[in-house]
Structure 1
Amino acid sequence: MAEYVNKQVIELNKVTEENRNRATRSVKTETHLSDGRTGVYRLAAVCFGVLCVLQVTLNISLRLAFCTGRVVEGSGMAVQTMRTVLKCPKGWRMLGSSCYFLSTERKTWEESKLDCLARGADLVIINSRQEQKLLYQLHGDADLLVWIGLTDSVNEGTWKWVDGTPLTTSYWKSGKPDHGGTNNKDCVEVNHRDNVLANWNVAPCNHMLHWICEKLQK
Protein backbone atom coordinates (compact mmCIF):
# COMPACT_ATOMS: atom_id res chain seq x y z
CA MET A 1 0.00 0.00 0.00
CA ALA A 2 2.80 2.40 0.91
CA GLU A 3 4.58 1.54 -2.32
CA TYR A 4 1.43 2.30 -4.27
CA VAL A 5 1.03 5.67 -2.57
CA ASN A 6 4.63 6.53 -3.30
CA LYS A 7 4.13 5.74 -6.98
CA GLN A 8 1.07 7.96 -7.09
CA VAL A 9 2.97 10.81 -5.45
CA ILE A 10 5.83 10.41 -7.92
CA GLU A 11 3.38 10.40 -10.85
CA LEU A 12 1.67 13.50 -9.46
CA ASN A 13 5.01 15.28 -9.11
CA LYS A 14 5.88 14.41 -12.72
CA VAL A 15 2.58 15.77 -13.96
CA THR A 16 3.02 18.91 -11.90
CA GLU A 17 6.57 19.44 -13.20
CA GLU A 18 5.45 18.94 -16.80
CA ASN A 19 2.62 21.43 -16.35
CA ARG A 20 5.04 23.91 -14.80
CA ASN A 21 7.46 23.51 -17.72
CA ARG A 22 4.66 23.95 -20.26
CA ALA A 23 3.48 27.06 -18.52
CA THR A 24 7.00 28.48 -18.48
CA ARG A 25 7.46 27.76 -22.21
CA SER A 26 4.08 29.35 -22.94
CA VAL A 27 4.96 32.49 -21.01
CA LYS A 28 8.33 32.76 -22.78
CA THR A 29 6.68 32.26 -26.16
CA GLU A 30 4.02 34.90 -25.47
CA THR A 31 6.66 37.28 -24.13
CA HIS A 32 8.76 36.76 -27.26
CA LEU A 33 5.76 37.33 -29.51
CA SER A 34 4.75 40.37 -27.50
CA ASP A 35 8.26 41.81 -27.76
CA GLY A 36 8.22 41.17 -31.52
CA ARG A 37 4.88 42.89 -31.99
CA THR A 38 6.04 45.81 -29.85
CA GLY A 39 9.15 46.19 -32.01
CA VAL A 40 7.04 46.15 -35.15
CA TYR A 41 4.68 48.74 -33.71
CA ARG A 42 7.59 50.96 -32.71
CA LEU A 43 9.17 50.67 -36.15
CA ALA A 44 5.84 51.52 -37.79
CA ALA A 45 5.41 54.54 -35.53
CA VAL A 46 8.91 55.81 -36.31
CA CYS A 47 8.35 55.37 -40.04
CA PHE A 48 5.04 57.19 -39.85
CA GLY A 49 6.64 60.05 -37.91
CA VAL A 50 9.43 60.35 -40.49
CA LEU A 51 6.88 60.42 -43.31
CA CYS A 52 4.94 63.17 -41.52
CA VAL A 53 8.09 65.26 -41.10
CA LEU A 54 8.98 64.78 -44.79
CA GLN A 55 5.47 65.77 -45.83
CA VAL A 56 5.51 68.91 -43.72
CA THR A 57 8.96 69.84 -45.05
CA LEU A 58 7.79 69.31 -48.63
CA ASN A 59 4.67 71.41 -48.06
CA ILE A 60 6.71 74.25 -46.54
CA SER A 61 9.23 74.12 -49.39
CA LEU A 62 6.51 74.21 -52.03
CA ARG A 63 4.72 77.07 -50.28
CA LEU A 64 7.92 79.09 -49.95
CA ALA A 65 8.77 78.49 -53.59
CA PHE A 66 5.26 79.55 -54.63
CA CYS A 67 5.27 82.66 -52.46
CA THR A 68 8.75 83.62 -53.61
CA GLY A 69 7.65 83.28 -57.20
CA ARG A 70 4.60 85.43 -56.53
CA VAL A 71 6.74 88.09 -54.83
CA VAL A 72 9.23 88.14 -57.70
CA GLU A 73 6.45 88.23 -60.25
CA GLY A 74 4.59 90.91 -58.28
CA SER A 75 7.76 92.97 -57.96
CA GLY A 76 8.33 92.73 -61.68
CA MET A 77 4.78 93.88 -62.36
CA ALA A 78 5.14 96.75 -59.89
CA VAL A 79 8.38 97.89 -61.56
CA GLN A 80 6.77 97.61 -64.96
CA THR A 81 3.76 99.60 -63.76
CA MET A 82 6.00 102.31 -62.31
CA ARG A 83 7.91 102.52 -65.58
CA THR A 84 4.65 102.88 -67.49
CA VAL A 85 3.24 105.52 -65.15
CA LEU A 86 6.42 107.58 -64.98
CA LYS A 87 7.07 107.61 -68.71
CA CYS A 88 6.27 110.88 -70.47
CA PRO A 89 6.87 111.80 -74.13
CA LYS A 90 10.10 113.55 -75.00
CA GLY A 91 9.88 117.26 -74.23
CA TRP A 92 7.16 116.71 -71.60
CA ARG A 93 7.54 116.88 -67.84
CA MET A 94 6.03 114.67 -65.17
CA LEU A 95 4.29 116.56 -62.37
CA GLY A 96 2.14 114.56 -60.00
CA SER A 97 0.36 111.88 -62.05
CA SER A 98 0.27 113.75 -65.37
CA CYS A 99 2.62 114.82 -68.14
CA TYR A 100 2.77 118.51 -69.08
CA PHE A 101 4.10 120.30 -72.14
CA LEU A 102 4.98 123.99 -72.06
CA SER A 103 5.16 125.52 -75.51
CA THR A 104 8.12 127.56 -76.69
CA GLU A 105 6.09 129.47 -79.25
CA ARG A 106 2.90 131.54 -79.09
CA LYS A 107 -0.52 130.87 -80.60
CA THR A 108 -4.16 131.84 -80.15
CA TRP A 109 -6.26 129.92 -77.65
CA GLU A 110 -7.97 127.87 -80.39
CA GLU A 111 -4.67 127.10 -82.11
CA SER A 112 -3.17 126.09 -78.76
CA LYS A 113 -6.09 123.76 -78.15
CA LEU A 114 -5.62 122.13 -81.57
CA ASP A 115 -1.90 121.74 -80.96
CA CYS A 116 -2.58 119.86 -77.72
CA LEU A 117 -5.13 117.60 -79.42
CA ALA A 118 -2.56 116.79 -82.11
CA ARG A 119 -0.22 115.68 -79.31
CA GLY A 120 -2.87 113.36 -77.84
CA ALA A 121 -3.56 115.79 -74.98
CA ASP A 122 -5.72 118.76 -73.95
CA LEU A 123 -5.06 122.30 -72.90
CA VAL A 124 -4.38 121.90 -69.20
CA ILE A 125 -7.38 121.34 -66.92
CA ILE A 126 -6.67 122.42 -63.35
CA ASN A 127 -8.61 120.28 -60.90
CA SER A 128 -6.98 121.05 -57.56
CA ARG A 129 -4.95 123.49 -55.51
CA GLN A 130 -2.04 121.07 -55.69
CA GLU A 131 -2.09 121.05 -59.48
CA GLN A 132 -2.36 124.84 -59.55
CA LYS A 133 0.83 125.03 -57.46
CA LEU A 134 2.61 122.32 -59.43
CA LEU A 135 2.30 124.32 -62.64
CA TYR A 136 4.68 126.90 -61.19
CA GLN A 137 7.38 124.24 -61.31
CA LEU A 138 6.76 124.04 -65.05
CA HIS A 139 7.09 127.79 -65.51
CA GLY A 140 10.18 128.12 -63.36
CA ASP A 141 11.20 131.73 -63.06
CA ALA A 142 10.02 132.62 -66.55
CA ASP A 143 7.81 135.69 -66.96
CA LEU A 144 5.06 133.92 -68.89
CA LEU A 145 1.44 134.32 -69.82
CA VAL A 146 0.02 130.91 -70.77
CA TRP A 147 -3.32 129.61 -71.99
CA ILE A 148 -5.19 127.02 -69.94
CA GLY A 149 -8.15 124.98 -71.17
CA LEU A 150 -10.94 127.17 -69.77
CA THR A 151 -13.41 129.28 -71.76
CA ASP A 152 -16.94 130.73 -71.74
CA SER A 153 -17.09 131.17 -75.51
CA VAL A 154 -20.14 128.90 -75.84
CA ASN A 155 -22.24 130.59 -73.17
CA GLU A 156 -21.13 133.93 -71.77
CA GLY A 157 -20.40 133.67 -68.05
CA THR A 158 -20.58 129.87 -67.99
CA TRP A 159 -16.99 128.68 -67.71
CA LYS A 160 -16.19 125.20 -68.92
CA TRP A 161 -13.04 123.20 -69.45
CA VAL A 162 -12.10 121.86 -72.87
CA ASP A 163 -13.42 118.41 -71.92
CA GLY A 164 -16.88 119.91 -71.28
CA THR A 165 -16.79 119.76 -67.48
CA PRO A 166 -17.98 122.88 -65.63
CA LEU A 167 -15.66 125.02 -63.54
CA THR A 168 -15.98 124.20 -59.84
CA THR A 169 -12.77 125.54 -58.27
CA SER A 170 -11.10 128.71 -59.55
CA TYR A 171 -8.04 130.85 -58.87
CA TRP A 172 -9.02 134.19 -60.37
CA LYS A 173 -7.11 137.38 -59.90
CA SER A 174 -8.90 139.94 -57.73
CA GLY A 175 -11.87 141.40 -59.61
CA LYS A 176 -11.88 138.70 -62.30
CA PRO A 177 -13.51 137.50 -64.40
CA ASP A 178 -15.03 140.67 -65.83
CA HIS A 179 -17.54 140.84 -68.66
CA GLY A 180 -17.75 144.55 -69.34
CA GLY A 181 -17.94 146.01 -72.86
CA THR A 182 -17.44 144.05 -76.05
CA ASN A 183 -13.82 143.02 -75.57
CA ASN A 184 -14.60 139.33 -76.20
CA LYS A 185 -12.61 138.09 -73.19
CA ASP A 186 -13.72 134.48 -73.40
CA CYS A 187 -10.49 132.58 -72.74
CA VAL A 188 -8.37 132.20 -69.63
CA GLU A 189 -4.67 132.94 -69.25
CA VAL A 190 -2.42 132.35 -66.26
CA ASN A 191 -0.05 135.13 -65.29
CA HIS A 192 3.02 133.71 -63.63
CA ARG A 193 3.88 137.08 -62.10
CA ASP A 194 0.81 137.00 -59.85
CA ASN A 195 -0.03 135.13 -56.65
CA VAL A 196 0.09 131.37 -57.24
CA LEU A 197 -3.48 130.94 -55.97
CA ALA A 198 -4.88 134.07 -57.63
CA ASN A 199 -3.44 134.37 -61.12
CA TRP A 200 -6.20 133.55 -63.62
CA ASN A 201 -7.21 136.30 -65.97
CA VAL A 202 -9.66 136.60 -68.86
CA ALA A 203 -8.26 137.62 -72.23
CA PRO A 204 -9.36 137.81 -75.86
CA CYS A 205 -8.98 134.35 -77.38
CA ASN A 206 -7.03 135.74 -80.36
CA HIS A 207 -4.10 136.85 -78.22
CA MET A 208 -0.86 135.09 -79.00
CA LEU A 209 0.38 133.33 -75.86
CA HIS A 210 2.30 130.30 -74.73
CA TRP A 211 0.18 127.34 -73.65
CA ILE A 212 0.30 124.19 -71.50
CA CYS A 213 -0.85 120.76 -72.66
CA GLU A 214 -1.73 118.00 -70.20
CA LYS A 215 -1.64 114.27 -70.86
CA LEU A 216 -3.17 112.06 -68.20
CA GLN A 217 -1.41 108.76 -67.45
CA LYS A 218 -3.51 105.63 -67.96
Structure 2
Amino acid sequence: MDDYVNKEVVEIDKVVEENENGAMRRVTTETHHSGPDGSGRRLYRMVAVSFGMLCVLQVALNISLRLVFESDSLTEERDQLPTRYNNLTKERDQLQRENDDFMEKFSNLGWNKFESCWYFVSTERETWSESREDCLEREADLVIINSREEQTYLFSLKKGVWIGLTDSETEGSWKWVDGTPLNTSYWGSNEPSKVGDHSNNQEKDCVELRDGKDQPEKIWNDSKCDKKLNWICEKCNK
Protein backbone atom coordinates (compact mmCIF):
# COMPACT_ATOMS: atom_id res chain seq x y z
CA MET A 1 0.00 0.00 0.00
CA ASP A 2 2.74 2.38 0.94
CA ASP A 3 4.67 1.50 -2.23
CA TYR A 4 1.66 2.27 -4.37
CA VAL A 5 1.14 5.66 -2.72
CA ASN A 6 4.78 6.57 -3.11
CA LYS A 7 4.70 5.63 -6.76
CA GLU A 8 1.77 7.93 -7.48
CA VAL A 9 3.46 10.78 -5.62
CA VAL A 10 6.58 10.34 -7.72
CA GLU A 11 4.52 10.35 -10.94
CA ILE A 12 2.65 13.49 -9.87
CA ASP A 13 5.94 15.26 -9.08
CA LYS A 14 7.27 14.25 -12.48
CA VAL A 15 4.21 15.70 -14.25
CA VAL A 16 4.52 18.91 -12.26
CA GLU A 17 8.21 19.09 -13.07
CA GLU A 18 7.51 18.49 -16.75
CA ASN A 19 4.79 21.16 -16.73
CA GLU A 20 7.12 23.58 -14.99
CA ASN A 21 9.92 22.78 -17.44
CA GLY A 22 7.54 23.24 -20.37
CA ALA A 23 6.36 26.57 -19.02
CA MET A 24 9.93 27.66 -18.48
CA ARG A 25 10.79 26.71 -22.04
CA ARG A 26 7.85 28.70 -23.32
CA VAL A 27 8.84 31.71 -21.25
CA THR A 28 12.41 31.36 -22.36
CA THR A 29 11.34 31.04 -25.97
CA GLU A 30 9.12 34.13 -25.79
CA THR A 31 11.90 36.06 -24.07
CA HIS A 32 14.38 35.16 -26.80
CA HIS A 33 11.88 36.22 -29.53
CA SER A 34 11.11 39.61 -28.00
CA GLY A 35 14.79 40.55 -27.47
CA PRO A 36 15.95 40.84 -31.12
CA ASP A 37 12.79 42.80 -32.23
CA GLY A 38 13.39 45.60 -29.69
CA SER A 39 17.08 45.89 -30.59
CA GLY A 40 16.21 46.20 -34.31
CA ARG A 41 13.82 49.06 -33.70
CA ARG A 42 16.37 50.91 -31.59
CA LEU A 43 19.01 50.39 -34.26
CA TYR A 44 16.66 51.67 -36.98
CA ARG A 45 15.86 54.78 -34.94
CA MET A 46 19.56 55.42 -34.40
CA VAL A 47 20.28 55.09 -38.13
CA ALA A 48 17.36 57.40 -39.03
CA VAL A 49 18.46 60.04 -36.51
CA SER A 50 22.04 59.82 -37.70
CA PHE A 51 21.00 60.21 -41.34
CA GLY A 52 18.83 63.24 -40.47
CA MET A 53 21.74 64.84 -38.63
CA LEU A 54 23.98 64.23 -41.64
CA CYS A 55 21.45 65.94 -43.92
CA VAL A 56 21.24 68.96 -41.60
CA LEU A 57 25.03 69.16 -41.43
CA GLN A 58 25.26 68.96 -45.25
CA VAL A 59 22.77 71.81 -45.70
CA ALA A 60 24.60 73.92 -43.14
CA LEU A 61 27.89 73.20 -44.91
CA ASN A 62 26.44 74.17 -48.30
CA ILE A 63 25.09 77.46 -46.91
CA SER A 64 28.39 78.22 -45.24
CA LEU A 65 30.34 77.57 -48.45
CA ARG A 66 27.93 79.72 -50.48
CA LEU A 67 28.27 82.61 -48.02
CA VAL A 68 32.04 82.31 -48.15
CA PHE A 69 32.07 82.35 -51.95
CA GLU A 70 29.67 85.31 -52.13
CA SER A 71 31.70 87.17 -49.54
CA ASP A 72 34.88 86.56 -51.52
CA SER A 73 33.16 87.73 -54.72
CA LEU A 74 31.90 90.93 -53.07
CA THR A 75 35.31 91.59 -51.61
CA GLU A 76 36.90 91.13 -55.02
CA GLU A 77 34.41 93.49 -56.64
CA ARG A 78 34.98 96.05 -53.89
CA ASP A 79 38.72 95.86 -54.42
CA GLN A 80 38.21 96.39 -58.17
CA LEU A 81 36.10 99.55 -57.76
CA PRO A 82 39.07 101.98 -57.48
CA THR A 83 40.60 100.52 -60.64
CA ARG A 84 37.31 100.82 -62.54
CA TYR A 85 36.86 104.39 -61.32
CA ASN A 86 40.35 105.32 -62.48
CA ASN A 87 39.74 103.73 -65.89
CA LEU A 88 36.45 105.60 -66.31
CA THR A 89 38.13 108.84 -65.32
CA LYS A 90 40.83 108.28 -67.95
CA GLU A 91 38.20 107.51 -70.60
CA ARG A 92 36.27 110.67 -69.69
CA ASP A 93 39.40 112.80 -69.90
CA GLN A 94 40.31 111.23 -73.25
CA LEU A 95 36.82 111.96 -74.63
CA GLN A 96 37.07 115.53 -73.38
CA ARG A 97 40.41 116.00 -75.13
CA GLU A 98 39.02 114.55 -78.35
CA ASN A 99 35.99 116.84 -78.11
CA ASP A 100 38.22 119.87 -77.56
CA ASP A 101 40.36 118.89 -80.54
CA PHE A 102 37.24 118.43 -82.66
CA MET A 103 35.89 121.84 -81.68
CA GLU A 104 39.22 123.50 -82.44
CA LYS A 105 39.47 121.86 -85.86
CA PHE A 106 35.84 122.71 -86.60
CA SER A 107 36.45 126.33 -85.67
CA ASN A 108 39.53 126.47 -87.86
CA LEU A 109 37.41 125.27 -90.80
CA GLY A 110 35.05 128.20 -90.43
CA TRP A 111 32.40 126.67 -88.16
CA ASN A 112 31.00 128.57 -85.18
CA LYS A 113 29.06 127.06 -82.29
CA PHE A 114 25.80 128.41 -80.91
CA GLU A 115 23.96 126.42 -78.24
CA SER A 116 23.96 122.80 -79.48
CA CYS A 117 24.58 123.53 -83.18
CA TRP A 118 27.47 124.45 -85.44
CA TYR A 119 27.15 127.01 -88.24
CA PHE A 120 29.25 127.51 -91.33
CA VAL A 121 28.97 130.83 -93.18
CA SER A 122 30.23 130.65 -96.73
CA THR A 123 32.66 133.15 -98.24
CA GLU A 124 31.41 132.43 -101.75
CA ARG A 125 28.10 133.05 -103.47
CA GLU A 126 25.97 130.38 -105.11
CA THR A 127 22.36 129.65 -106.05
CA TRP A 128 20.05 128.16 -103.43
CA SER A 129 20.43 124.62 -104.86
CA GLU A 130 24.21 124.90 -105.15
CA SER A 131 24.39 126.26 -101.63
CA ARG A 132 22.45 123.33 -100.26
CA GLU A 133 24.61 120.89 -102.19
CA ASP A 134 27.69 122.37 -100.53
CA CYS A 135 26.11 121.92 -97.09
CA LEU A 136 25.25 118.29 -97.80
CA GLU A 137 28.86 117.65 -98.84
CA ARG A 138 29.87 118.97 -95.44
CA GLU A 139 27.47 116.46 -93.82
CA ALA A 140 25.15 119.33 -92.85
CA ASP A 141 22.24 121.21 -94.46
CA LEU A 142 21.03 124.74 -95.00
CA VAL A 143 20.11 126.26 -91.67
CA ILE A 144 16.68 125.61 -90.13
CA ILE A 145 15.59 128.31 -87.68
CA ASN A 146 13.77 126.89 -84.65
CA SER A 147 13.78 129.74 -82.12
CA ARG A 148 13.94 133.50 -81.69
CA GLU A 149 17.37 133.09 -80.05
CA GLU A 150 18.68 131.34 -83.13
CA GLN A 151 17.13 134.01 -85.37
CA THR A 152 18.82 136.74 -83.30
CA TYR A 153 22.17 134.94 -83.55
CA LEU A 154 21.93 134.74 -87.35
CA PHE A 155 20.87 138.38 -87.48
CA SER A 156 24.08 139.31 -85.66
CA LEU A 157 26.14 137.96 -88.57
CA LYS A 158 25.06 141.00 -90.62
CA LYS A 159 25.13 139.08 -93.85
CA GLY A 160 22.65 138.28 -96.58
CA VAL A 161 22.47 134.46 -96.82
CA TRP A 162 20.34 131.58 -98.03
CA ILE A 163 18.47 129.56 -95.39
CA GLY A 164 16.82 126.16 -95.74
CA LEU A 165 13.26 127.33 -96.45
CA THR A 166 11.39 126.99 -99.77
CA ASP A 167 7.93 126.61 -101.32
CA SER A 168 9.22 125.11 -104.55
CA GLU A 169 7.00 122.03 -104.21
CA THR A 170 3.72 123.87 -103.60
CA GLU A 171 3.37 127.61 -104.06
CA GLY A 172 2.66 129.30 -100.74
CA SER A 173 3.36 126.14 -98.70
CA TRP A 174 6.69 126.92 -97.05
CA LYS A 175 8.72 123.99 -95.78
CA TRP A 176 12.18 123.51 -94.30
CA VAL A 177 14.73 121.29 -95.99
CA ASP A 178 13.96 118.46 -93.53
CA GLY A 179 10.31 118.47 -94.69
CA THR A 180 8.76 120.13 -91.63
CA PRO A 181 6.22 122.91 -92.33
CA LEU A 182 6.86 126.51 -91.33
CA ASN A 183 5.34 127.35 -87.94
CA THR A 184 7.15 130.49 -86.79
CA SER A 185 8.27 133.13 -89.30
CA TYR A 186 10.29 136.34 -89.36
CA TRP A 187 9.23 137.86 -92.67
CA GLY A 188 10.12 141.39 -93.56
CA SER A 189 7.48 143.96 -94.44
CA ASN A 190 5.20 142.87 -97.32
CA GLU A 191 6.91 139.47 -97.41
CA PRO A 192 6.56 136.88 -98.77
CA SER A 193 5.59 138.17 -102.18
CA LYS A 194 2.10 137.32 -103.38
CA VAL A 195 1.51 134.97 -106.26
CA GLY A 196 1.42 136.96 -109.52
CA ASP A 197 3.66 139.76 -108.24
CA HIS A 198 6.85 138.18 -109.63
CA SER A 199 8.45 139.67 -112.76
CA ASN A 200 9.62 137.62 -115.72
CA ASN A 201 7.25 134.84 -114.67
CA GLN A 202 9.87 133.52 -112.26
CA GLU A 203 8.59 132.48 -108.87
CA LYS A 204 10.37 133.52 -105.68
CA ASP A 205 10.51 130.12 -104.07
CA CYS A 206 13.63 130.38 -101.84
CA VAL A 207 14.25 132.39 -98.68
CA GLU A 208 17.19 134.60 -97.74
CA LEU A 209 18.10 136.55 -94.64
CA ARG A 210 18.73 140.15 -95.52
CA ASP A 211 21.92 141.80 -94.33
CA GLY A 212 20.54 142.85 -90.95
CA LYS A 213 19.48 146.43 -91.56
CA ASP A 214 16.08 145.83 -90.00
CA GLN A 215 15.02 144.22 -86.74
CA PRO A 216 15.90 140.54 -86.12
CA GLU A 217 12.23 139.56 -86.46
CA LYS A 218 11.88 141.16 -89.92
CA ILE A 219 14.71 140.03 -92.16
CA TRP A 220 13.28 137.12 -94.16
CA ASN A 221 12.79 137.70 -97.86
CA ASP A 222 11.62 135.33 -100.60
CA SER A 223 13.84 135.48 -103.68
CA LYS A 224 14.42 133.75 -106.97
CA CYS A 225 16.29 130.51 -106.31
CA ASP A 226 18.86 131.20 -109.05
CA LYS A 227 20.06 134.32 -107.27
CA LYS A 228 23.62 133.97 -105.99
CA LEU A 229 24.12 134.62 -102.29
CA ASN A 230 26.24 133.45 -99.40
CA TRP A 231 24.69 130.68 -97.34
CA ILE A 232 24.71 129.14 -93.86
CA CYS A 233 25.11 125.42 -93.20
CA GLU A 234 23.96 123.95 -89.90
CA LYS A 235 25.05 120.79 -88.08
CA CYS A 236 23.39 119.99 -84.76
CA ASN A 237 24.24 117.45 -82.06
CA LYS A 238 21.70 114.65 -81.83
Shorter-normalised TM range: 0.5 to 0.7
Deviation readout 1:116-172 (Å, 9 max, x if unpaired): 2233221111122222122234x2xx4x32111101111011001112221122111
Distance 2:120 2:102 in 1: 18
Once the two structures are superposed, the pairs formed by residues 1-218 of structure 1 within 5 Å of their partners are 62-81=80-99, 83-84=101-102, 88=106, 90-137=109-156, 139=157, 142=158, 144-183=159-198, 184-191=203-210, 192-217=212-237
Compare 90-99 and 70-79 and name the one that shifted more. 70-79
Task: Report what 2:28 is aligned to.
Answer: none
Distance 1:121 1:59 in 2: 45
Do the aligned partners of residues 61 and 127 (structure 1) sit closer, same or farther apart at CA in structure 2, a change above 3 Å counting? Answer: same
Do the aligned partners of residues 172 and 69 (structure 1) sit closer, same or farther apart at CA in structure 2, a change above 3 Å counting? Answer: same
Deviation of 1:83 after TM superposition, in Å, equals 4.7
Do the aligned partners of residues 91 and 74 (structure 1) sit closer, same or farther apart at CA in structure 2, a change above 3 Å counting? Answer: closer
Deviation readout 1:97-126 (Å, 9 max, x if unpaired): 222221222222222222222332211111
Compare 76-85 and 165-174 and name the one that shifted more. 76-85
- Asked whether the 8 Å contact 1:86–1:94 carries over to 2, the reply is no
- Asked whether the 8 Å contact 1:85–1:217 carries over to 2, the reply is no
> Given the two structures, how large is their TM-score scaled by the length of structure 1?
0.61
Do the aligned partners of residues 136 and 61 (structure 1) sit closer, same or farther apart at CA in structure 2, a change above 3 Å counting? Answer: same
Do the aligned partners of residues 165 and 105 (structure 1) sit closer, same or farther apart at CA in structure 2, a change above 3 Å counting? Answer: same
Do the aligned partners of residues 199 and 71 (structure 1) sit closer, same or farther apart at CA in structure 2, a change above 3 Å counting? Answer: same
Distance 1:60 1:119 in 2: 48
Deviation of 1:81 after TM superposition, in Å, equals 4.8
Deviation of 1:70 after TM superposition, in Å, equals 3.0
SS in 1 for 2:168: coil
Distance 1:58 1:207 in 2: 70
Distance 1:58 1:165 in 2: 55
Deviation of 1:86 after TM superposition, in Å, equals 6.8
> Given the two structures, how large is their TM-score scaled by the length of structure 2?
0.56
Deviation of 1:92 after TM superposition, in Å, equals 2.2
Where does the alignment leave 5 or more consecutive residues of structure 1 unmatched?
Answer: 1-55
Where does the alignment leave 5 or more consecutive residues of structure 2 unmatched?
Answer: 1-73
Q: Percent identity?
A: 47
Compare 80-89 and 95-104 and name the one that shifted more. 80-89
**Greater helix percent: which structure?**
2
Do the aligned partners of residues 73 and 120 (structure 1) sit closer, same or farther apart at CA in structure 2, a change above 3 Å counting? Answer: closer
Q: Which structure has the larger Rg over C-alpha atoms? A: 2
Do the aligned partners of residues 105 and 62 (structure 1) sit closer, same or farther apart at CA in structure 2, a change above 3 Å counting? Answer: closer
Do the aligned partners of residues 74 and 105 (structure 1) sit closer, same or farther apart at CA in structure 2, a change above 3 Å counting? Answer: closer
